[in-house]
Structure formats: structure tokens, C-alpha cells
């Protein structure tokens, strides 16, 4: 079962659906907002799996099987997930600091990240408080969905969107790390498989929404206006002198 789950997560980490390239380049194409419904397939399936799992006896049995499989083969608890959840989105800033520039400048990508984090964090906390699912280790009733996994997949999608025009491997690496975070959460008996799947879906969807609404946020909150460039030059037409003014909006 361990191998099956690992293959499932690695498959999701590299799977690309037509339309996943829906994005906004706020620096180059401020008015180019592209919304493609196909890009919602993966996060919708992941979230749907988790929601159905709240009531489905079959999916609950799978949850218990996965828990028992991890307990049987791996009795060591590793806290790497507390750090790996942040690795994908921090990588974006690290790569830019190293001179490998992504799609957006510092301000624009920070707006996207902050928006995604607010959407993701708000959604996860509201669902945790209302669903009240007990964790596999019985420590509390805030198991569904996995916040660590949501943060990791939010960052993985962020990394993918920023660097997909340079190389797909940046995004693939981010998704592998995010998948590993989910596996650690199950291995540490902090989350069920359905928790992790829903967290992954929420994380991906939050980042996609953040890119779609970024131009609106910049226009309404930051009051960004188009730059005006002007130049003043002296002229002489053979009879008189003067100054010429040229302004580009």
C-alpha cells in the first residue's frame, strides 16, 4: 500500500492538464486575464475525494488501511513536514535572489503569494472548525483538511506558475516536495489520506485564484496606474527655436 500511495502522489505531482497554464503575467500583460475551467480539474477532484471521504465507508476503510500500513512499516516520527511545507514558495524568492528571475517582480509575486495564503489559510481553518474530524493519533478534532499539505501545494503551484516558462522542472520539484509533505503527515499519524488530498486541492486552487484576481487587486487596492513616460527636446526648424514635448501613456 505504501508503494501505491507514493506512486499516486508522485503522479499527481507531475500531472499536467490542458489549461493548467492559465495565468496572469502582471508585468507584461496587465489586461491578459485567462480563466480556463480545465485548470480546475485536478484541485476539484482532490477536494471532492476528501469531502466524499467524510461519509463514504469505503474511503474511510482506505484511510484506516493507509494508517495501518504506515504504522506497520514506519514507526519513526519525522518532523520534516514542519519545514518542507514552506520550501516550495520560499524557493521562488531564493531563486530570484540567485539571479534566476521568474515571471513577476518582487511586488507582484508577493501580492499573489499573500492572496493565495489568505485564501488557503482561511479555507482550511473554517473547514477544520466545522468538520471536526479526529486525527489518526487522536490528539484533537482538527484533522480535516491538512494545513501543512495545503501550504506545500499552494507553494508548489506558485513555483510552477512563476517558472514554467523557464523550465517545468522547477514546478515538478515543488510538487514532489509537496507530495512528500503529505506523506510525512500521514506517516506521523497527523492526517488521513482524505485530509491530505483535500489539503492539496485547496492549496493548488488558492494559488490559481490568486493569479486570476491579481490585476483586480492591484487596480483596486494598490491603485496602480499605467506609467507615463515623457521627453522634452529642443528643436530648430530653420526659422525659429523652441521646445518639443512628447508624452507616452
Q: What is the pLDDT of residues 109-122, one digit of tens each?
A: 999 999 999 999 99
Give the end-to-end CA distance of the chain in Å, rounded to a whole number: 61
Q: What is the pLDDT of residues 55-112, one digit of tens each?
A: 999 999 999 999 999 988 766 777 899 999 999 999 999 999 999 999 999 999 999 9
Residues 6+ apart with CB under 8 A from 134: 140, 141, 143
Confidence at residue 63, expressed as pLDDT on a 0 to 100 scale = 97
Confidence at residue 106, expressed as pLDDT on a 0 to 100 scale = 94
CA–CA gap between residue 14 and residue 48 (Å, rounded): 20
CA–CA gap between residue 123 and residue 248 (Å, rounded): 44
DSSP string, 141-175: S--SS-HHHHHHHHHHHHHHHHHTTT-HHHHHHHH
Residue pair 59/194 in contact (Cβ under 8 Å)? The answer is yes
173-199 average pLDDT score = 97
Whole-number percent of the chain with pLDDT over 70 = 74
Task: Give residue for cell 500583460.
Answer: 29
31 band by pLDDT with thresholds 50, 70 and 90: very low
Residue pair 190/241 in contact (Cβ under 8 Å)? The answer is no
Confidence at residue 19, expressed as pLDDT on a 0 to 100 scale = 39
Residue pair 174/91 in contact (Cβ under 8 Å)? The answer is yes
Q: Is 244 helix (H, G, I), strand (E, B) or coil?
A: strand
Report the DSSP pairing between strands 241-248 and 229-236.
antiparallel
Give pTM, 2 decimals. 0.78
Number of domains in the chain: 1
The range of the structural domain enclosing residue 51 comes to 2-248
Residues 6+ apart with CB under 8 A from 37: 19
Weakest-pLDDT range from 74-83, 127-136, 152-161, 225-234: 225-234
Confidence at residue 79, expressed as pLDDT on a 0 to 100 scale = 84
Task: Give residue for cell 506521523.
Answer: 188
Confidence at residue 37, expressed as pLDDT on a 0 to 100 scale = 78
Q: By C-alpha distance, which of 130, 148, 128 is closest to 83?
A: 148
18 band by pLDDT with thresholds 50, 70 and 90: very low
Confidence at residue 224, expressed as pLDDT on a 0 to 100 scale = 57
| Average pLDDT of the chain, as a whole number | 82
Weakest-pLDDT range from 49-53, 148-152, 241-245: 241-245
Is the link from the previous residue into 236 a cis peptide, with omega within 30 of 0? no
Residue pair 32/25 in contact (Cβ under 8 Å)? The answer is yes
Amino acid at each position: 500500500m505504501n508503494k501505491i500511495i507514493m506512486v499516486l502522489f508522485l503522479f499527481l505531482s507531475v500531472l499536467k492538464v490542458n489549461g493548467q497554464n492559465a495565468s496572469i503575467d502582471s508585468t507584461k500583460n496587465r489586461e491578459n486575464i485567462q480563466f480556463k475551467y480545465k485548470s480546475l480539474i485536478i484541485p476539484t477532484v482532490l477536494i471532492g475525494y476528501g469531502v466524499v471521504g467524510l461519509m463514504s465507508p469505503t474511503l474511510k476503510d482506505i484511510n484506516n488501511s493507509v494508517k495501518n500500513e504506515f504504522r506497520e512499516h514506519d514507526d519513526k516520527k519525522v518532523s520534516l513536514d514542519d519545514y518542507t511545507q514552506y520550501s516550495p514558495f520560499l524557493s521562488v524568492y531564493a531563486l530570484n535572489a540567485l539571479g534566476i528571475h521568474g515571471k513577476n517582480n518582487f511586488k507582484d509575486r508577493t501580492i499573489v503569494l499573500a492572496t493565495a495564503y489568505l485564501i488557503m489559510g482561511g479555507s482550511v481553518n473554517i473547514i477544520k472548525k466545522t468538520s471536526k474530524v479526529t486525527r489518526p493519533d487522536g490528539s484533537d478534532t482538527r484533522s480535516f483538511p491538512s494545513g501543512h499539505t495545503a501550504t506545500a501545494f499552494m507553494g508548489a503551484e506558485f513555483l510552477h506558475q512563476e517558472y514554467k516558462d523557464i523550465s517545468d522542472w522547477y514546478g515538478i520539484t515543488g510538487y514532489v516536495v509537496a507530495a512528500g509533505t503529505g506523506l510525512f503527515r500521514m506517516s506521523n499519524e497527523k492526517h488521513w489520506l482524505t485530509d491530505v488530498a483535500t489539503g492539496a486541492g485547496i492549496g493548488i486552487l488558492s494559488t490559481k485564484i490568486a493569479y486570476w484576481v491579481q490585476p483586480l487587486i492591484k487596480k483596486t487596492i494598490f491603485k496602480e496606474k499605467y506609467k507615463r513616460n515623457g521627453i522634452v527636446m529642443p528643436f530648430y526648424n530653420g526659422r525659429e527655436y523652441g521646445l518639443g514635448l512628447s508624452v507616452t501613456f
